[in-house]
Chain A
């Protein structure tokens, strides 16, 4: 497996996209730190990048990469190599490259300028979202043979989780505002990895407001050990479930 991961890595490095992505993150983060001396404000600005740009780049890049690796996958499949190993190696190499790009691009400036606990949480959220959206990209890639269609599905995933879902949630909250909805909204939030990551950041950045409105409910739940385990578990499911599903499809796919 390590050998195959190595070759996928070399292939990813050859395209230079990851280097560009790293540079983009590095430059934006440094620019934000330069413009604002308050690190918590920088974290707030970076949050937009983490919630919007990171998922978008991850899902589009991973989908395109999967299609560009078709020849490689085909070649490997004719060799005495397990299908799963090929698939997981592809995922591991893409996910690790994207994560390294993110950690280098955002984490190193944070280390240099200092960003505190909320910065660490932000890094965690960025890594998790990278992994989740890479999984979703692989799922989009195996359900169809058509590259354009797969990119379409990938973009739809992104659009759904970033915007449409929140629109629906807002509609629900607004329509049923007379009912006690804390528990329901909390579970609905958990069904969207972007929202879950956002709430974890809200607990750091806007705790005063959260405490005002929902009382201690969200903090008590998400701030407790149980809540931390639950949200970590849910995020893990968001990484593993699409990947497992994609892998199942891939194991029966004709090449």
Chain B
């Protein structure tokens, strides 16, 4: 209902602007209008400001009118390592084709290349952000499209860098096909709802590729989270949809493909977890459906803490992981059923492609390593091989009822 009303209003606005056409003001270092600030001051709502290539060092530019700002061949807006570059406090704004460099760094203010406050109906697209403290920073806004932006920062220490795309108290946002590298968190949400995140690539960020809290009913599709300091961490949220994302190469003692903490009633489907120290780490999470995911070459595919309940793992592929599943207790309130496990050694006498004996995905040595991490060095030794065999024959340490009763004999083909 709410969404419909907003779209109607924006559609109406489109007609109004189209009808009046507005004026175009050209800003050019070597032309008549040299200053973006003055162009904004002289513009009427609905006008377009076209910026020619060049270097513009105008400190903090505040935009409080509904304007379209278009860059030609990426004119550079330089913050001189002191200023927030563009502050938007207006509805119906388009920012397109600009390059933002060198914002200031501050510990109190979240200085950003593009900051949006209390605004609606914005397009921010095809911009390039280089060495900015925060990249695109939205608070208390809605109906914003953030598309095809490239954000990159080179700072080495975490306290000198903010988040790439940072949203606080927003709703109905679309974040599509952006690339974020070298920030603290690639994409950060707090109190963000009804938002669509698709096709983004968040890579090599210092902390998390994606980090959100209290952000219900968002959908994440086809994103790539690669080689981030601590992977992806999502917390205190219900109604998350994670579909066809890739979580890759997140290595470290507290690094996770995806960390789920207090996540409820969610859906994780078709994702690929590859080469992570831990594919999915989950605690205090309930009623999540995991299906058609691929876990490959992880240290652990899944670490399922005993505080989780009602989660279902079905039709997932587990292959070439060091350990498939680890848990820290003997109480198991989650279901694992009908997955493919490459370590399964059972047989299929009735040829229904389902193994006739259950598979126990928790290896005993995983439990030992859980307790004594250094013991991982003995993995794949003859001793450990014997221990694991003995445990399989007479389970003593591993949880008795965490097992897949109908393991698939062949990996599923999800393509």
Are chains A and B touching directly in their complex (CB below 8 angstroms)? yes
Which residue numbers of A lie inside 8 Å of B, CB to CB?
Answer: 38, 40-41, 44, 47-48, 51-52, 162-163, 166-167, 169-170, 173-174, 177, 181-182, 185, 189, 194-195, 198-199, 201-202, 205-216, 218
With A41-B342, A214-B374, A214-B376 known as contacts, the answer to whether A163 contacts B300 (CB < 8 A) is: no
Task: Give chain A's interface secondary structure class.
Answer: helix
Segment touching A, from B1-9, B204-212, B233-241, B249-257: B249-257
Segment touching A, from B96-104, B117-125, B273-281: B273-281
Contact B372 A212 (CB under 8 A): no
A17 to B185, CA, bound (A): 62
Contact B382 A163 (CB under 8 A): yes
Contact A51 B382 (CB under 8 A): yes
Contact B374 A185 (CB under 8 A): yes
Contact A212 B382 (CB under 8 A): no
A83 to B380, CA, bound (A): 41
Which residue numbers of B lie inside 8 Å of A, CB to CB?
Answer: 251-253, 255, 275-278, 297-300, 319-323, 342, 368-369, 371-386
What chain B residues lie within 8 Å of A38 (beta carbons)?
Answer: 319-320, 342
Contact B299 A208 (CB under 8 A): yes
> Could you list 28 examples of A-B contacts with CB < 8 Å?
A38-B320, A51-B380, A52-B382, A163-B383, A166-B378, A166-B384, A167-B383, A173-B372, A173-B375, A173-B378, A174-B372, A181-B374, A185-B374, A195-B377, A202-B380, A208-B277, A208-B321, A209-B298, A211-B252, A211-B299, A212-B252, A212-B253, A213-B373, A213-B376, A214-B376, A215-B252, A215-B253, A216-B252
Considering residues A40, A182, A202, which has the most beta carbons from chain B within 10 angstroms of its beta carbon?
A: A202
- Selected from A40, A41, A167, A209, the residue in CB contact (under 8 A) with B379 is A209
- Selected from B299, B375, B378, the residue in CB contact (under 8 A) with A212 is B299
CB distance from B375 to the nearest CB of A (A): 5
A231 to B395, CA, bound (A): 37
Q: 8 shortest A-B CB distances, which residue pairs?
A: A209-B299, A212-B277, A209-B322, A211-B251, A208-B299, A166-B383, A213-B373, A212-B299
- Selected from B251, B373, B381, the residue in CB contact (under 8 A) with A166 is B381
Contact A212 B374 (CB under 8 A): no
A207 to B297, CA, bound (A): 9
Considering residues B251, B278, B375, B381, which has the most beta carbons from chain A within 10 angstroms of its beta carbon?
A: B381
User: Which residue in chain B gives the minimum CB-CB distance to A47?
Assistant: B380
Contact A208 B374 (CB under 8 A): no
- Selected from B276, B372, B382, B385, the residue in CB contact (under 8 A) with A208 is B276
User: Which residue in chain B gives the minimum CB-CB distance to A189?
Assistant: B377
Knowing that A162-B381, A209-B322 touch, tell me 20 more A-B residue pairs with CB under 8 angstroms.
Answer: A38-B342, A40-B297, A47-B380, A51-B380, A166-B384, A169-B377, A169-B378, A170-B378, A173-B372, A174-B368, A177-B372, A185-B374, A195-B378, A198-B381, A202-B377, A205-B322, A205-B380, A209-B376, A212-B255, A214-B376
